[in-house]
Structure 1
């Protein structure tokens, strides 16, 4: 067996920027229902974080007339790792160049996927500075647990849609060092999904096939609860406040994680994790491939089936293309 030397230059998903046509309502969803806090407001953007996120932001909501993904922010393992990855990305022709910094981080290299999803990678970050009255008695927690909503604990992962999953997966593997933990192959040749990580998590990023053939769309951002009971708790909250629950609670076979999918008021899909699934410590892990024969268990291990819109809807929405794909 040929063993490919791993690249350990990308440390983690640090933040996600999401577009919303109604910033106030979207911020209210994450703040009032999911217990996240606002750390700064700049122009058309609001920066937020969950109570166990150590950096100054893990989520940014920016105004646009349509919902969707702004960018994904990745932290490198070192300043030297940042330079290596920038050079490797530039060689692919998908680099956009350097920026001097942005809220919460320093100098960053901006790039896109083959499908056009925007990313940036950086080393220097701003850590969250907690107000004295919100300090936790746990010195390894950046603030104490909030008392409003059902507070999520941290940013977990992002899921994007692509016209060519294999090209997107190959880019993250070759240019950034991600490892593909699980994937879906249909008809023996079409890669319909891939779950990738740079850590023992099953995924920090997932990519699923956009059946409309569109490029650059956004499927969801996910936040982690830890305690499965919180999925039932937040389900009650959503039901009484008119928040649409698309699917769940249930459990995926892929990732083995408990889930609930909802739509925030701006139109983006949000996943809430009731646990973190399984962890991978095997350095020679082989990608687990799901096919038509076992995919039903991969999508839903137990719980109600996800609706067809789960596979078709992404932001920005393309109702005409999605309807055509469903036929």
Structure 2
């Protein structure tokens, strides 16, 4: 499909995001010690963390829950007027769950859900991160001091959800949110089996893949961006020393050409470290790249064969018949 360059882009980016974990403190230590996020707040059942170059006041909120999984994904509108336009589209689609003025660091939030039931929140007003004397950056054009430790992730990159209905979700992303599909996997019947959508000029922000269990609302992985591929190679050693489960990688995806490492944080959620920032979609009339099932079956661009759990593991974990 070719994208209409006259279509207004009303969403700026993904983030912040909530993540459920049954082991709150252990998950916190993983993100702080292995990924180099900073704890910036907490309450009885959640901890707020910040990546060093995120302009927002927090990047991820870990929430204590019995089962792992994804909470609310917040998406920022591109302007106050864009906020009202997207709000109207969500209302027209009948997906609004309520209005919330109590989210830390954000103004009014329109809570809604995608067709698969994943909770989301639309906002415009946002508080920016204010470093204290312990993390004031040497360079005033970054949010916080450069940590220089662990995986040293710079920012939240994308979210990959599992969904029961990929074609229906694809229509929602394009028609309601105004996102555009940059790449996809199609079945032999021509239906979408996996979709990569972007909001701005990054190659992708929101990804949905077919949930083989037929369930709704699950997470495949949450991804953080590093500056270089060398950061990911070092991260593999960091994870090894910390006893973190390395699922697969470092390898290179054929789709989107992402260099990656997948690990499971202590709560069971899959986390990707990726270096995809060099690929930007600058063409306003970008033509969606479609991969067939046969092409996808060839595996990664290079590296080892994709491990089986990559196609079966998601959170919350479901019992298998």
Determine if the TM-score, normalized by the shorter chain, exceeds 0.5. yes
Conserved 8 A contact 2:3-2:286: no
What secondary structure is seen at the aligned counterpart in 2 of 1:132? coil
Question: Does 1:261 pair with 2:280?
Answer: no
Per the normalisation by structure 1, the TM-score is 0.94
Structure 1 runs (4+) deviating above 2 angstroms are 1-5, 147-150, 274-277
Per the alignment, residue 248 of structure 1 pairs with 249
Per the alignment, residue 118 of structure 1 pairs with 119
The alpha-carbon deviation at position 118 of structure 1 amounts to 0.4
Distance (whole Å) between structure 2 residues aligned to residue 71 and residue 303 of structure 1: 33
Conserved 8 A contact 1:185-1:191: yes
Distance (whole Å) between structure 2 residues aligned to residue 250 and residue 222 of structure 1: 15
Distance (whole Å) between structure 2 residues aligned to residue 4 and residue 35 of structure 1: 39
Could you give the per-residue CA deviations for residues 197-253 of structure 1, whole angstroms, max 9, x where no partner exists?
011111111000001110110111100112111111111111122111111000011
Question: Does 1:55 pair with 2:56?
Answer: yes
Per the alignment, residue 214 of structure 1 pairs with 215
The alpha-carbon deviation at position 150 of structure 1 amounts to 2.8
Per the alignment, residue 103 of structure 1 pairs with 104
Give the stretch that moved more between structures: 118-127 or 237-246: 237-246
What secondary structure is seen at the aligned counterpart in 2 of 1:82? helix
Conserved 8 A contact 1:74-1:121: yes
Distance (whole Å) between structure 2 residues aligned to residue 218 and residue 2 of structure 1: 27
Q: How does 1:194-205 map to 2 (within 5 A)?
A: 194-205=195-206
The alpha-carbon deviation at position 95 of structure 1 amounts to 1.2
Unaligned stretches of 5+ residues in structure 1: none
What secondary structure is seen at the aligned counterpart in 2 of 1:8? coil
Question: Does 1:76 pair with 2:59?
Answer: no
Give the stretch that moved more between structures: 246-255 or 299-308: 299-308
Distance (whole Å) between structure 2 residues aligned to residue 146 and residue 12 of structure 1: 24
Q: How does 1:85-104 map to 2 (within 5 A)?
A: 85-104=86-105
Q: How does 1:1-327 map to 2 (within 5 A)?
A: 3=4, 5-297=6-298, 299-320=299-320
The alpha-carbon deviation at position 2 of structure 1 amounts to 8.8
Conserved 8 A contact 2:3-2:284: no
Q: Greater relative contact order: 1 or 2 (C-alpha under 8 angstroms, separation 6 or more)? A: 2
Per the normalisation by structure 2, the TM-score is 0.96
Residues paired across the two proteins, number: 320
Unaligned stretches of 5+ residues in structure 2: none
